A and B are shown apart, each in its own frame.
Chain A
Amino acid sequence: MQIEMTTATSPTLPRAGGRGSRLGLRLPAMLARFPRHGRACPGHPQENVRGVDARNKRGHDVRYVLRIIVSVLICAIFFAPPAHAYKAYVSNEKGNSITIIDTDKLEAIATVRVGRRPRGIALNKDGSELYICAGDDDAIQVLDTKTLKVTGKLPSGPDPELLALSPNGNIIYVSNENDNLVTLIDVKKKEMIGDIPVGVEPEGMAVSPDGKLLVNTSETTNMAHLIDTQSKEIVANILVDGRPRFAEFKNDGSELWVSSEVGGTVAIIDPVKRELKQKIGFDIPAMSKEAIQPIGISITRDGKRAFVALGPANRVAVIDAETKKIEKYLLVGQRVWHLAFTPDEKYLLTANGVSNDVSVIDVASLKVLKSIPVGAFPWGVVVAPQ
């Protein structure tokens, strides 16, 4: 669809951040600057290296250069161990497949065919199983991450879209859009153990780090429903902006972030007081308000920085998660859906629906390093924590 649009003779504007520009121009430039893993060693930012060049040209203080080289070497040994070869799993909504990415090589290493219209995905605690919402098969499939074979399925209502695991990994909470229900599944017994009526078109799901609070967002009701996981009762309904799609807790449980795709904002909710604290809006020069559609949210473990995918704005917003100020917009692929950190938080991966690729963001330098081609219409992304 988009391919035709960019090739036909038409009054379309050139798309900023098209694949050509990212792959063809920026990647070699980035690789040249960051020899291997693309992240400057802590304490030795790029400015120092450029400073070295300047001193060298002026022809004095060679010892300084040597000291720098030695310290860089030490730094390389002690502070920059080789990146762990984590595995990232990307659901391809139209490809009916899961692409597996090696986060060391930053390339796709396998593609597995799964059920129809895979979107929401989640790993179990030890990373041995991947749960896949195959919406058009009305099923949650279980993929063995060692053999890469679908070993079975979990019961779900019709058209499951997103799911969340309890912190102990025993219960899966699934949003079933067609029934206005959140369904609870016992992972071991593979049984439905209850459901909770919520608003119209339940979508986003998140569990608080202590496992006590479940949040579900309903896209047409425009609420975040806070649910007590013990009593399975709704304890608060918080109105947010239009079409809330995703929910994410801070690691310390102090804040709940909810993105509103059509409203164009992110709501920050106090889960203890159960009230809305503030809303974050986005403003990108020369981009219409309607194109800014927040979806996926990832917050660093220390709670200091958040990343929000902005859908057809083709950007990821970088937010100071303490002051809530927007630091930067990073250009990624087209219609960016969901995000996932590598467990060491070195990289953030973004699933870009329309451009059929995954952008790799270097978290420390806030640079987009690379685009990795995946299947058709990538939607969800998770990284194995091992």
Chain B
Amino acid sequence: MKSLVAAFCLSLIAASVAAETLNLKVGVLRETHSRETLSILDIPAADDTLAGVLLGVADNNTTGKFTNQSFEAIDARLDEGDDVVAALDRLIDKGALLVIADLSPERLLAASERAGPKGALLFNVSATDDRLREEDCRANVIHVSPTRSMLADGLAQYLVWKQWRRWLLFKGSHPKDELLAQALRNSAKKFGAKIVEERVYEDTGGGRRSDSGSVQTQRQIPALTQNAPAYDALIAADESEVFANYLPYRSWDPRPVAGSAGLMPTNWDPAHEQWGALQLQNRFIQTFRRLMNARDNAAWLAMRMIGEAATRTASSDPEKLRLYMIGKEFSIAAFKGVRLTLRPWNLQLRQPILLSDGRMVVSVSPQEGFLHQVSELDTLGLDQPETKCRLK
């Protein structure tokens, strides 16, 4: 990690010697994510998100050798209670007007407001909230991360394709669980699935780790899923990591689990290998000695979008880069089998949604046969005719 940073500093010095090298400084504003995950495999690493940015910097610098551009990342990590505006100010003072943001919706909106008068451009790489692309959309926030509605639609298309149309929806008791549940309800309606019953798993507090956890869970989950109307799939809405991973193999009826556990919609999975993705996974593992998660990937992609726009426009000006990215010329390759572009009405990146069982990528949505007049990728998530976004 340190050696990498040192290497980037060195490359920066070397680059600055050469004449007319354009240097782009990119800030990384990232929150600490909860270590309270049901599976220890999902506990975030110390360089979560940052590692993706640094791989993007390395890729961009390889290209930059040929275009006289150099890229540099400046990390700013926020603990709970830290002031996001102050942190953003420090990044801007250091010359980073392009900022990759791994922030909660509240902090992202605060950062966006501050970034406005300073001419900074933010790239949201983790918040899936639809409102950030709808009623709370901002002209200086580009959304690389998919929305809950895109994730839910990606899953729903596959379940409908499988003819698993009757869902038992099991949701957590936190507000963000309800947001995901609502996205799933909308998807069911959109694609012709039916939610036969909804149940709530109350979070009564407490930790996730214990040395005899499985004994209780094994007795508890069958009881909680008993006496349901006939259903095809058990759908979990549990962003808070309270219960979803307890459902597979434990439900009263033998049914597949999907949503927050089982078959999970995501923008990236460390098992994804198609369309050359193996190359990116290999580069990431070789550099950071761990697997690339969804946030790392969105952060890498944000950095690649910055690199691509800088290469094509030969500029580091955030407004020039923004205009290029929302223009017709822009597209980016992201190992998803198709080119990705921005929805100009709310600056959301169009992208396929991977469906992962945690070991393999089971399928990739949009599913064949779900058609759209503009782009099949727009069958995923809220579309232009229904948008509430008015970019300012």
Contact = CB atoms under 8 A, between A and B. Distances in A.
Contacts of A200: 59, 62-63
Nearest to B286: A178
B312 A239 contact: yes
Interface in A331-345: none
Contacts of B375: 288-290
Contact of A11 (B333, B337, B370): B370
Interface string A291-317: 101000000000000000000100000
Interface of A: 5, 8-13, 159, 177-178, 180, 197, 199-201, 218-223, 225, 234, 237, 239, 241-243, 261-264, 288-291, 293, 312
Interface in B178-228: none
Contacts of A288: 375-376
B333 A242 contact: yes
B376 A223 contact: no
Given A180-B62, A201-B279, A242-B331, 10 more contacts: A9-B163, A178-B282, A178-B286, A220-B63, A221-B66, A222-B63, A223-B63, A262-B331, A262-B332, A312-B337
B161 interface: yes
Interface string B298-340: 0000001000100110000000000000000001110001110
B63 A291 contact: no
Given A221-B66, A262-B331, A290-B339, A11 B276 contact: no
B385 interface: no
Looking at chain B's contact residues, is the secondary structure mostly helix, strand, loop, or mixed?
Answer: helix
B339 A220 contact: no
A241 to B, nearest CB: 8
Interface in B115-153: none
Contacts of B337: 312
A12 B376 CA distance: 13
B229 to A, nearest CB: 23
A236 B278 CA distance: 29
Contacts of A239: 311-312
Interface-central residue, A8, A264, A290, by most chain B CB under 10 Å:
A290
Contacts of A10: 161-163, 369
Contacts of B76: none
A243 B304 CA distance: 13
8 cross-chain pairs, A with B, having the tightest CB-CB distances, nearest first = A290-B338, A262-B333, A221-B63, A237-B66, A243-B333, A12-B369, A11-B369, A262-B339
B368 interface: yes
Interface residues of B, number: 32
A242 B368 contact: no
B290 interface: no
Contacts of B311: 222, 239
Interface-central residue, A178, A288, A293, by most chain B CB under 10 Å:
A288
Contacts of B65: 197
A199 B63 contact: yes
Looking at chain A's contact residues, is the secondary structure mostly helix, strand, loop, or mixed?
Answer: loop
A295 to B, nearest CB: 12
B339 A264 contact: yes
B333 A13 contact: no
B333 A219 contact: yes
Contacts of A293: 338
Contacts of B377: 290
A264 B380 CA distance: 22
A234 B62 CA distance: 14
Contacts of A242: 331-333, 339
A201 B55 CA distance: 13
B160 interface: yes
Given A11-B161, A239-B311, A220 B304 contact: yes
Given A11-B370, A220-B59, A239-B311, A263 B66 contact: no
Nearest to B341: A290
B283 interface: yes
A199 B62 contact: yes
26 contacts: A8-B161, A10-B162, A10-B369, A11-B161, A11-B369, A12-B369, A159-B279, A177-B279, A178-B279, A178-B283, A200-B59, A201-B276, A201-B279, A220-B59, A220-B304, A225-B66, A234-B66, A237-B66, A239-B311, A241-B331, A242-B332, A243-B276, A262-B338, A264-B339, A288-B376, A290-B377
A263 B339 contact: yes
A219 B369 contact: no
A291 B366 CA distance: 12
Contacts of A243: 276, 333
Contacts of B160: 11
Given A11-B369, A262-B333, A290-B376, A222 B338 contact: no
Contacts of A234: 66
Nearest to A203: B276
A234 B332 CA distance: 25
Contacts of B312: 239
A178 B287 CA distance: 12
A219 B163 CA distance: 38
Contacts of A225: 66
Contacts of B331: 241-242, 262-263
